[in-house]
């Protein structure tokens, strides 16, 4: 059995009292808001919680919610401390690993902002597409289309039937003016590719064979009890075919940018390693 000398015991007691006094002094003029066993939540802990323009009513609600959440967290923490085995509570390494990963991530994000050129040219996109087009296969049918939904009470429906099929600029201008006045929906989808299934979901129409339908139909006219629906298919691409370059473009840009980032960080890490090696900043045993 160990025997402690009296001066050592007195020193330990005085040190404990000193810590307690310091903690009390730290919150000497601070109002406690809640306590769970020996843990306190103080008014100063909530200083950063409130937006400057918040109302008194909202601030009261916010404080109540925060206090309740804090209490629940402390109670759960106590249960975890009581019930987890010792090896599960040893989380220092996990915390350090997380801290290291987070710092490196933040540093990388700053380097991306400062050092990496995020501009990707059309030539780069076309070059990548031509080399790897087999990797861009459609898993659904897509279309470029004009879509109209017009109330049956609207006038000049016969003109609409003529205008929406026309490629004449004057007719399209008339159609646009008409739709701004009467159409419930008027979408040209900015000449972008869209899923044909998504377009069909806007129509009171069931199509079993989308591929066959697209091959043999350029226009769709259908109706329900309230509306007339008109669709002009300007272009289409079928499932299992190679994606049009405009459709694949966003994904290609992401791939090129990620490759650029990977190369940059690989070179950065190698340079840091080699510089540290030359300066004898680390030793491998």
Instruction: Output the domain CATH number for residue 153.
Output: 3.10.50
The answer to whether 42 and 54 have CB atoms below 8 angstroms apart is: no
d(CA 130, CA 128): 6
| DSSP symbols for 7-40 | HHHHHHHHHHHHHHHHHHHHTTT--EEEEETTEE
Q: Cβ neighbours of residue 119 under 8 Å, at least 6 residues apart?
A: none
- Judge if 216 and 158 occupy the same domain: yes
Question: Do 130 and 147 sit in the same domain of this protein?
Answer: no
pLDDT at 19: 44
The least confident of 39-48, 134-143, 265-274 is 39-48
- Asked if the structure places residue 223 within a domain, the reply is yes
Q: What is the pLDDT of residue 81?
A: 82
Same domain, yes or no, for 44 and 171? no
**pLDDT, tens digit, 9 for 90 and up, residues 79-113:** 888 888 877 767 888 888 889 999 999 999 998 88
How far is residue 47's CA from residue 42's CA, in Å, rounded to a whole number? 10
Into how many domains does the chain fold? Answer: 3
CB atoms within 10 A of CB 187: 16
142/233 same-domain check: yes
Please name the helix (run of DSSP H) or strand (run of DSSP E) that holds residue 150, with its range, or none.
Answer: strand 142-151
Residue 236 has a CB neighbour count (10 Å cut-off) of: 21
Q: Is 54 a member of any domain?
A: no
Q: What is the mean pLDDT of residues 115-126?
A: 93
Are residue 227 and residue 186 in the same domain, yes or no? Answer: yes
Residues 193 and 124 in one domain: no
Residue 163's nearest CA partner among 148, 151, 153, 152 is 148
Using alpha carbons, select from 229, 175, 174, 181 the residue that is nearest to residue 205.
229
Q: Is the same domain home to 132 and 145?
A: no
Task: Examine the domain organization and report whether 147 and 221 are in the same domain.
Answer: yes
Gyration radius of the chain over CA positions: 34
Q: Is residue 170 part of a domain?
A: yes
Average pLDDT over residues 126-130: 96
Domain that holds residue 71: 29-49+59-81
Residues 214 and 151 placed together within one structural domain of the fold: yes
Looking at residue 46, what is its pLDDT?
A: 77
The model's pTM: 0.64
Same structural domain, 151 and 207:
yes
Is there a domain that residue 213 lies in?
yes
132 lies in the same domain as 257: yes
Q: Are residues 73 and 38 in the same domain?
A: yes
Please check the confidence at residue 11 and state whether its pLDDT lies above 50. Answer: no
148 inside domain: yes
Beta bridge partners of 51: none
Mean per-residue pLDDT, 232-253: 95
Is residue 142 included in any domain, yes or no?
Answer: yes
């Amino acid at each position: 059995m160990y025997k402690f000398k009296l001066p050592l015991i007195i020193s330990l007691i005085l040190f404990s009292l000193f810590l307690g006094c310091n903690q009390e002094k730290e919150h000497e003029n601070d109002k406690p808001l809640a306590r769970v066993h020996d843990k306190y939540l103080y008014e100063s802990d909530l200083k950063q919680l409130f937006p400057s323009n918040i109302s008194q009513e909202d601030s009261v609600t916010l404080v109540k919610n925060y206090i309740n959440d804090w209490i629940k967290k402390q109670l759960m923490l106590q249960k975890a401390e009581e019930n987890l085995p010792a090896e599960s509570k040893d989380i220092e390494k996990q915390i350090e690993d997380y801290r290291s990963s987070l710092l490196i991530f933040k540093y990388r994000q700053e380097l991306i902002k400062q050092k990496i050129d995020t501009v990707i040219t059309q030539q780069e996109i076309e070059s990548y597409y031509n080399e790897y087009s087999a990797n861009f296969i459609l898993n659904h049918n897509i279309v470029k289309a004009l879509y109209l939904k017009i109330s049956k009470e609207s006038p000049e429906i016969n003109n609409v039937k003529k205008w929406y099929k026309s490629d004449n600029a004057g007719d399209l201008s008339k159609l646009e003016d008409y739709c701004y006045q009467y159409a419930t929906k008027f979408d040209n989808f900015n000449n972008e590719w869209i899923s044909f299934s998504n377009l069909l979901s806007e129509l009171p129409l069931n199509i079993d064979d989308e591929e066959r339908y697209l091959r043999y139909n350029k226009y769709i006219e259908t109706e329900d009890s309230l509306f007339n629906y008109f669709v002009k298919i300007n272009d289409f691409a079928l499932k299992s075919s190679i994606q049009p370059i405009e459709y694949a473009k966003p994904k290609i840009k992401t791939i090129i940018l990620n490759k650029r980032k990977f190369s940059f960080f690989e070179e950065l890490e190698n340079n840091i390693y080699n510089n540290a090696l030359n300066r004898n900043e680390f030793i491998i045993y």
